[in-house]
A and B are shown apart, each in its own frame.
Chain A
């Protein structure tokens, strides 16, 4: 008998594809972002159906929540900077329709090829299942995804945090000066809402971090939820970054990377190599790393949203000629 959920799966899959097309073809950029956010949340639902709640959490919080906020912020800036709505949207050199059609046909062919290759690949083929199952007792945590992220493939995860660090350094170097897009006045309702919502978000973020050792959750999801606190603070102007906060911000950005790398180096010795945590302390070390990484992720994501290094206005130097 067919699973009654198949209808749900099919509908969801159709909706996801339709949303992807809609997001790329809708004229209004604001609508594009709204459609994208819905697309992301539906993808997260699809991943839940594929028994990947960790991925669904990360996608919902980071891939969709933070990315959507970043896109909105940029759109807000574009419309403010250009003064009117449509001026900034016209491309410098319009691409000829013929070229676009050729491109689209080319992509269609590629997609077909990929689909054929996918259908030919073994379903539920070989994987790491047995290896992970065998190594889990020595990992120091009970949740396999956390074990992979922070122990088996901790090197990848360290480098992922490095990517985040590189991003915030690059963003600070690209954008300079104070924000020129004025923030709108917030009504009392928003202030009240923020006051109510913030503690709840902090609790949930911390909970996700803590629960990561044995259930879906962990540093990235917790960090992203905590970043939402930063977003709210920045949006409601409850916190305005000041130039003299830069040192602390820098410290928070590098905290996760630094502690992670230091732990990885320091455990080496006595026959162990880097990243090889001693079994007795594995859980403690992993929690330490996760905690620091969570702080870094939360602050970094919020800083990426804010976008610019807080510099005093007089220091603004233009290098362009």
Chain B
């Protein structure tokens, strides 16, 4: 693989860029692989990458029914943070965040990780308590966060309205090394690095059945033929329930539409990521100048990748109240993605009732930030055949035991 660099660009410029090769191969599937991953989104590709890189397992295929990175990886609001309350969540999200720090160099693909900082606004006394609780936890977990006062919030985000009549900003939880990354580039970078290691990424290949032998997985049937494998990973956010049914088990998951939108591009206005949970809105500005805004999720099962417009209205309303100058900006585009919601809103990583079939799903509305950590952990789990240190707490059995990993605890929602 040609290394990417400024020098390589300069050399190619001389011949009108006709010399660049493919970023990833477009292989015909082999009859058999050691490991097959279903789903070439960020999580699936990262799993394959770390299988190769950390565990030397390169006889791996990633099959994808559409195009790689075309699911939630390509339609999220790209926020990266790890200021979670529970130890188990903080561990895996912080692992992911720290991998993001050097992901561009690791993959030789600029994923534009931008640690511009993430602010979570506290707008009620209850929210202050919740975020202070997280701050205390994070300090002891080794996650760098800080609760800051309204003046410092204003300094970080000059366009914010601190003393709004309804919900004044009372402070914020600040994670200075949180931020954003270029979502497509994360998928493309992993894909290119996987391909370079000899891992096959097979796009336009829909799985139609999962084959089993003696209670263990033996392969898959796809629109591009049968592929046998020793181990199978299901990494298909939004479609986990459908794949699980093929594999013969049920998941504690429901699929709902989550929406997002962007404004027209404007000159730099907001330099950090701001999340306002009381009023249900979060916002950042892309490197292109668009305000990227996350909206709410529908409360009903839905596979259409379209949501209901009133969520957009509620979000925009709240953001105008918090950032009054955006009132005269315009919404350029809105879209939806399908997210997997589990019973405690935390992910599932681990074994399934089907032997040698593993699953990584249920990331809900927060999957993008977890990609490197999720892939790292899923790869280790699949390589060893049992959950690694990060996945241990996220097994499906927690629901039967009543052992939840509930992050809404600190969300400032009055229970």
The answer to whether A and B assemble together is no
Chain A contacts to B: CB under 8 angstroms: none
Residues of B whose CB lies within 8 Å of any CB of A are none
